[in-house]
Amino acid sequence: MAAAEPDSPLYLGLDFSTQQLKAVAIDGALGPVHQDSVQFDSELPEFRTQGGVHIHPDGLTVTSPVLMWVKALDLLLDRMKAAGFGFSRVRALSGSGQQHGAVFWRTGAARTLAQLDPGQNLHQQLKDSFSVQDSPVWMDSSSGPQCDALQEAAGGAMRLADITGSRAYERFTGNQIAKVRQTRPDQFQDTERISLVSSFGASLFLGRYAAIDYSDGSGMNLLDIRDRKWSQVCLDATATNLERLLGEPCLSTAVLGPVSSFLQRRYGFSGSCSVVAFTGDNPASLAGMCLHQGDIAVSLGTSDTLFLSLAEPRPSLEGHVFCSPVEPDGFMALLCFKNGSLTRERVRDRCCSGSWDVFSQALDGTPLGNHGNIGFYFDTMEITPPAVGLHHFDANDRQVSSWSSELEVRALVEGQFLSRRLHAERLGYSIGRTSLCLCLVSPDVPARSEPGPVPFCLCFRVCQSGSGHRRRFGQQADPSGSVRRLQRSGLHHRPVGLCLLRLRLPSPPWFSGRFWSFLPGPAEQRSRTSAGVPPAPHRSAGLRPDVEALR
């Protein structure tokens, strides 16, 4: 941890994630000077969470106690104070929160927030401030009927995606709000404000309700991503007077105001410390990776996640398009792929005796393009695309049962990355001569970069770096709210453990045909066409019946 000058300004970032609350302080050169965290399960056992959540008996409903998040903030700030952290040096703070989670503030909570007593903890004073004690979170999948109703009201799944950047998803906040309104009408009636986890966190620092930012608000199925306003048709389909409960959304780099007098008196924050809008964890990660137009990032984990920055969005029925957290008029896209590191580990164990070194040697020993051999590896039902099974094709477009270990390793890697590229291009991504691919990996996932190995990093550090970068953006925002960028070279090399790769994988013309051979079937093609979605390319000839059966 770098040592900062005794009186130099600091910038504080927080992340209200699923399993823990984390904080990192950085100096003016974006170097980390202090880190701390609170693990929900082990350090707050009274809430009896597993992985930070409660999974209800139906197996679909997943929630987290709101007061657990509040008490975690008490514990974190008390711990930092005991460690001698200089809160008075913090010039600005911001943060991120797990996306899609909703917090329902009870009538009268605004008054409580504004009158907090510095002699008491936050959780003691806010214990009666929430009309819904257990907040629905991103893992919840119980709002299927509400998703169907929203899509019908919007004019179909594709029309909803055109408006909000995504088709209806059960975890998205608007559908969770609709479910609370229908199943708990008394609690909903007693609600005066609805926050996302991110804006909830900002509210605790402001001492008043914080606005939902455009980027995190894009994950609600409620925001018109082009107009940056709540969509009236989506609001009307969700709840009466919902716009009043949500408040006006804001720029993700907006300076919301000074830190509350409660935190100034209890912890010694300066009255000049600014609170910059909090955003979702995925937008904050994109900010932390400092993606520019034409850049793309792939987080390699149990599930692989692809991030990219867009000038013009092309929403589809797969993936998500959000407002950018750093570009006032820009967009970002997010794609999730379920078959990630576990699939790579399975091939490593079978073809390389469990050794990543042997895996890397096999990859280095075969040329780009793999002599025309390609594989599609869906060990479990994939998210993007919805397909399952293992499928190998040779250079003549014939399905084969097996290859040598060297061909298999490259077929896996190229098949995975080309599919990610294909779906990114469908959302509007275009690879240019200066495009960079940022590869974010965990210690048990291999990656190679010319000329040496890729360093490892932890995802939360990138997310928190994003909050730090956004604080710096907020500090440099002009009066109109637009962002004056920090130097590209300085930002690109600050996030610890990120590597920059040229996106050099070829995109042969036959790849798209083979890939789309798995989906969708003729009936779904018709439904896509009627919904205004371009039909998928024709299937490649010569596929075996069992592959055709995937339709």
> In CATH, what number is assigned to the domain containing residue 108?
3.30.420.40
Same domain, 221 and 329: no
User: Which residues constitute the domain of residue 303?
Assistant: 290-443
Let me know: does 269 contact 259? Beta carbons within 8 Å: yes
The answer to whether residue 80 is domain-embedded is yes
Report long-range pairs for 452-457 (Cβ below 8 Å, ≥24 apart). 454/499, 454/501, 455/497, 455/499, 456/497, 457/495, 457/496, 457/497, 457/498
The answer to whether residue 283 is domain-embedded is yes
The answer to whether residue 537 is domain-embedded is no
Same domain, 68 and 151: yes
Same domain, 397 and 251: no
Residue whose token pair is 């059960």: 170
Choose the final residue of a domain: 395, 426, 443: 443
* Confidence (pTM): 0.77
Same domain, 206 and 140: yes
Segments of the chain scoring below 50 in pLDDT:
442-466, 469-510, 512, 516, 518-551
Helix (H) or strand (E) holding 32: strand 32-39
Q: Is the peptide bond before 453 cis (omega within 30 degrees of 0)?
A: no
Q: Which of 45, 109, 106 is nearest to 72 (CA)?
A: 45
Same domain, 66 and 213: yes
Let me know: does 198 contact 280? Beta carbons within 8 Å: yes
Sign of CA pseudo-dihedral 438, 442, 443, 445: negative
The answer to whether residue 280 is domain-embedded is yes
The answer to whether residue 457 is domain-embedded is no
The answer to whether residue 399 is domain-embedded is yes
Helix axes 197-206, 66-82, angle to 10 degrees: 50
Choose the final residue of a domain: 427, 443, 459: 443
Residue whose token pair is 């006006």: 248
Same domain, 81 and 70: yes
Q: In what order do the strands lie in the sheet with 62-65?
A: 54-55, 62-65, 134-136
Residue whose token pair is 């066409």: 529
Distance from the first to the final alpha carbon of the chain: 53
Rounded to the nearest 10 degrees, how much is the dihedral formed by the CA atoms of 359, 361, 365, 367?
A: 60
Sign of CA pseudo-dihedral 364, 383, 441, 329: positive
The pLDDT assigned to 4 comes to 57
Q: In what order do the strands lie in the sheet with 389-393?
A: 374-378, 389-393, 399-400
Same domain, 126 and 139: yes
Q: Which of 117, 128, 127 is nearest to 261 (CA)?
A: 117
Let me know: does 167 contact 175? Beta carbons within 8 Å: no
Let me know: does 308 contact 296? Beta carbons within 8 Å: yes
Same domain, 269 and 313: no
The answer to whether residue 417 is domain-embedded is yes
CB atoms within 10 A of CB 312: 9
Choose the final residue of a domain: 257, 287, 317: 287
Same domain, 227 and 103: yes
The answer to whether residue 95 is domain-embedded is yes
Residue 165 DSSP SS3: coil
The pLDDT assigned to 323 comes to 96
CB atoms within 10 A of CB 236: 12
Same domain, 294 and 279: no
The pLDDT assigned to 499 comes to 28
Residues 6 or more apart whose Cβ sits within 8 Å of residue 99: 138, 196, 197, 198, 216, 219, 280, 281, 282
Same domain, 272 and 133: yes
Same domain, 174 and 304: no
Would you call 95 exposed, middle or buried from its count of C-beta atoms within 10 A (0-12, 13-18, 19+)?
Answer: buried
The pLDDT assigned to 3 comes to 58
Report the number of distinct structural domains present in the chain: 2
